[in-house]
Structure 1
C-alpha cells in the first residue's frame, strides 16, 4: 500500500497540510489551557475579594453581630463559619499551586499580612473531603449541607454543568480580635462548552493557508511538469518547438539548458545523417562499377556469386542508412486506409509465394506517414516469414489506438533475447546469409518508425507457440 502520493505536488501538499493541522491542534491546546488558567485566576480574584470584604465587615462587628451576619452570608457556593482556632490541614493540601495563587490574591485584597491558611479540599462539589479535614465534623457537615443546598436551588441547579469540575478551597483567616473565620469556597473552572468561535477562527485560518499553499505549490511545480512533458515529447519529435524561456530565474535557466540540449541533439543527428548519406553515395559508386565488371566475367557461376554478394552489400548499405537516419524528419501525416495497406502487402508477399493472413479490420483511417508505416509493417512481416514461415496479422482498433499483432509459427526466442534483437546488427543466427539471417536492422528500423509516430514495437513468445510482434500506434486527429 502506497502511503505517499506519487507526484511531487501531492507530497508537498501532504507535508504542508500535516504541518498546518499539527500547528493548529497545538495552538488550540495552548489557547484552551490559557483560557482555563485566566478564567480560574479571574474567579479566584473575585472570590478572594468577596472573602476580604466579609473579613473586613466581621472585623468591625461584635461577636453577636458576627454570628448573625455569618448565618446570613453562609450561602452556597460559599459557606462561612466562625472558629476559635484554625484547623491544621495536611501539607499536601497547603502545598498546592492553586492554594498559593488564591492565598496571594487574598493577601492583596485584604491589604495586610494577617495570618491565613488556604488549602485545596477537592475538585468536585458534593463529595465529602478526606484526610486531616475529616476531623472538622462541623465544617464538613456544613460542606455537605452546601452540596445538598446547591442541588436543591434552581439557580445552582442550572449552574451545575459549569461548576462540576471546579476547585474547592478551605480558607481560614484570623480576625483582629484573634478569632478565626473559615470559608468553604467553590471556584468554577469556567464554561465547559466548546468555544466554537475560536475553532471557527482556527478553521478559517487553516483553510486560508491551505488555499495559498495549494496555489504556491502548483505555481512552483508547474514548470517541472512542463519540462517533463517537453522531455517526453522530445523522444517522439526531435524537431519540436523549443521551450519558452520565461518565468523565475531557475525556470528560465532550466528551459535554456533544455533548449541547448535539444539543438545539440538536432545538430548531431543532422551531421550523422549527412555523413552516412555521403558514405552511402560513395559506396554505391564502387559497387556499381564492380557490378559492371562482374558482367565481363566469363564464368557464369562465378559471375552469379559476385552479383549476389554485390546485391547484399548494396542492400546492407541502404538498410544501414535508413537506420542511422533515425527518421528524424517530420512525418507527412495523412489518413491511411489500414485495410488497403495490409491487403497490398499481402498481395506482394503472395506473389513471392509467402503466406500472409489477415484477421480483423481497422474501424477508421489512421493518420500517419503511409510510406514509413508500410516499411514498418513490411519489416515485421519479413521477420515473421523468415523465421516462422507464416505471418498472421491480427488488427485491433479502437478510438485511442490502433494495434497490429504479427504472429509466426516459428520456435520463438529466449526471453532474455526479446529486447536485444532490436539492437543494430544483432541477430540470433550467427551467419550473415541474407536467406537465413538478414542484416539485423529490420526490427530496429520498425521500432524507430513506430516510436517516431508516438507508438512502439514489442515482442513476446505467444502461449500457443511462435513469436508475436505487437505494433501499437496511438491515434491522432486528422490534419486540416
Structure 2
C-alpha cells in the first residue's frame, strides 16, 4: 500500500510541476521585457535630445571632462551607433560599465571636447533569471509534494482500511465490524465491508446448518440399513454391507464434527504438546500402526486439548495408513513448536496439492475400497490448528512420501 501511495503522490507532483512549469514558461515568453538591442532606439532618441540641449543651452547641462570610466561594451556601442545613423547622426557615442553593480553609462562627445554622461537602466536582467525560475519551481515542487501526499493519503485510505480488514480476518473467516466514522469515502468503505461481513457470516452459518442437518438426518436411515444388513444370510455380503454402512457413518460423523469445529467457541487451555504427541503415537502403535516418535521437546501451547488431539491424530493416521509408515518429530524454534510428520507413501501429485484441504478430497477415489475414511480429516485438522493460531503445510518429500508441517505458538511461562 505504501508503494501505491508513493506512486499516486509522485504522479500528482509531476503533473502539478509540469503544468506550473509550462504556464511559467508561457508567461515568461509573453511578458518578457524587451532585449538590450530593442532598447537602443529610445536611448538613441535621448542621446540626440541631450546633444541638442547642450548646443542650445550649454550652461544648463552638466558635463564631464572625460568619458565615463569602465570597460566599453563593443556590442552595445555598435547597436547605439547603428540607431544614431538611422536617425542621420554620426555621433561617436559609446556605452561602458564600471562594474557589475553599476549601471551602463552612455558617453556623448561634444564639439567643445567635453562629454555628456547618461546612465541607462538594465531593462532586461543581465543574469540570474534562471536562478529565479529554478527557485520558483523548487517552491512549487515543495508545495505540490505536500498537497500530493495529503491527497494520496485520502485516496488510498479506503484501500488501507480494506488491507487492515483482510489482515484482521479471524479463524472463523469473518472480519470484525468496523466503526463508521471519518471522511465520506472511509464511511462508505466501512459500511460496504460491514455489509459484506454480515452476508459472509450468514452464508457460512447457513452452510454449516445444512451440513449439520444432513449429518444428523443420515443417522436414522443408516441405523435402519445396519439393522437390515444384520439379517443378510450370506456372511460375505453382510460384511460388505456393514463395511459400507460404517463408511457412511464415518462421513456423517465427520461432517457433524467439522460443523462443530467451525462454529464452536470453546475456551483454550494450556496443553503439554510433547505429552499429547507421545500419547497419540503410543495409542496408534497399540492399534498396530507403523509409527515412531523420533524426537520431542517439552512445550506448552494454548488450544482446546480434545480438538488438538483429534487434529494431530488425524494427521498421524493419514501418514501411517496412506503413507505406509510414519515418523514424528517435534522441536521448538523462535517461540514456535514445529511438528513434522513424514511418511513413506507415494505422495500427492503437484497439480492436486492445492486441493488437499478441500472437504471429501481424495487423491485416488479407488482408495476408498482399501483404506477407510471420510475425506474430511485434513479439513478438520486445518480448522482446529487455525483456531489454535497455528499453521499447517503439506509438501512432497525429496524422493518419496509426504511431509506434514504443523506450527503452533508456544505459551511462555
Normalised by the size of structure 2, how large is the TM-score? 0.74
Residues 434 and 227 of structure 1: CA distance in aligned 2, closer, same or farther (over 3 Å) = same
Q: Determine whether 1:287 maps to 2:281.
A: no
**Cα 1:272–1:420 shift into 2, 3 Å:** closer
Instruction: Tell whether 2:178 aligns with 1:243.
Output: yes
Q: Any residues of structure 2 matched to 1:220-299 within 5 Å, and which?
A: 220-234=155-169, 236-238=171-173, 240-295=175-230
Asked if the contact 2:47–2:108 (Cα under 8 Å) also holds between the matched residues in 1, the reply is no
Question: How far 1:468 sits from its partner (Å)?
Answer: 1.4
Offset at residue 227 of structure 1 (A) = 2.1
Q: Please state whether the residue corresponding to 2:359 is helix, strand or coil.
A: coil
1:355-434 counterparts in 2 under 5 A? 355-359=290-294, 361=296, 364-395=299-330, 397-399=332-334, 401-431=336-366, 433=368
Alpha-carbon separation, structure 1, partners of 2:136 and 2:278: 73
Does residue 19 (structure 1) correspond to residue 41 (structure 2)? The answer is no
Q: Write the deviation string for residues 378-402 of structure 1: whole angstroms up to 9, x where unpaired.
A: 2222221122222223435444654
Match status 1:351 vs 2:286: yes
Query: What is the distance in 2 between the residues matched to 1:400 and 1:207?
Result: 47
Report deviation, 1:319: 1.7
DSSP 3-state at the match of 1:243: coil
Superposed counterparts of 1:137-148, under 5 Å: none
- Counterparts in 2 of 1:213 and 1:188: CA distance versus 1, 3 Å: closer
> Contact 1:429–1:436 at 8 Å: present in 2 too?
no
User: What's the CA shift for 1:337?
Assistant: 2.3
The equivalent residue for 1:72 is: 66
In the aligned structure 1, how far is the partner of 2:372 from the partner of 2:168?
Answer: 35
Gaps of 5+ in 1: 81-88, 107-113, 119-135, 151-155, 176-180
SS of 1:388's equivalent in the other structure is: coil
Name the CA distance, whole Å, in 2 between partners of 1:212 and 1:340.
61
Within a 5 Å distance, the mapping from 1:110-125 to structure 2 comes to: 116=87
The corresponding residue for 2:113 is none
Measured at CA, do residues 311 and 267 of structure 1 come closer, stay the same or move farther in structure 2, by a change above 3 Å?
Answer: same
Given that 2:300 and 2:410 are in contact with CA atoms closer than 8 Å, whether structure 1 keeps it comes out as: no
Q: In 2, Cα distance between the equivalents of 1:408 and 1:116?
A: 110
Q: State the number of aligned residues.
A: 404
- Distance in 2 (alpha carbons) for counterparts of 1:48 and 1:328: 99
* Contact 2:67 2:107 survives alignment (8 Å): no
Contact kept in structure 1, 2:5 and 2:152, CA below 8 Å: yes
Instruction: Provide Cα deviations, 1:33-65, integer angstroms capped at 9, x if missing partner.
Output: 899848969997996687366434444268xx9
Structure 1 residue 21, shift from structure 2 partner: 4.6
Decide which moves more: 310-319 or 211-220. 211-220
* 1:419 CA drift (Å): 1.8
Q: Determine the structure 1 residue equivalent to 2:268.
A: 333
Q: Quick one: structure 1 residues 59 and 30, their matched pair in 2 at CA, closer, same or farther if it must change by over 3 Å?
A: farther
SS at match of 1:426: coil
Structure 2 residue 389 is the aligned partner of structure 1 residue 448:
no
Q: Match of 1:436? A: 371
Cα–Cα, structure 1 residues 214 and 478, in superposed 2: closer, same or farther, change >3 Å? farther
Q: State the shift of 1:370 in Å.
A: 3.0
* Secondary structure class of the residue paired with 2:262: coil
Q: Distance in 2 between matches of 1:477 and 1:17?
A: 50
Contact 1:409–1:467, Cα closer than 8 Å, also in 2: yes
Give 1:315 shift: 0.7
1:145-184 correspondence runs (5 A): 156=98, 159=99
Q: Deviations over 1:197-232 (max 9, x none)?
A: 886676555434433432343244233212232234
Task: Give me the whole-angstrom Cα distance separating, in 1, the residues matched to 2:382 and 2:4.
Answer: 32
Classify 1:357/1:432 alpha carbon distance in 2 versus 1 (closer, same or farther; 3 Å).
Answer: closer
Deviation at 1:331, TM superposition (A): 5.3
Residues 1:318 and 2:253 aligned together: yes
**Cross-structure match for 1:9:** 5
| Structure 1 residues 476 and 381, CA gap change in structure 2 (3 angstroms) | closer
Q: Distance in 2 between matches of 1:72 and 1:399?
A: 93
2:374 is the counterpart of 1:469: no
- Tell me the TM-score normalized by structure 1: 0.65
Structure 1 vs Structure 2 CA RMSD: 5.1
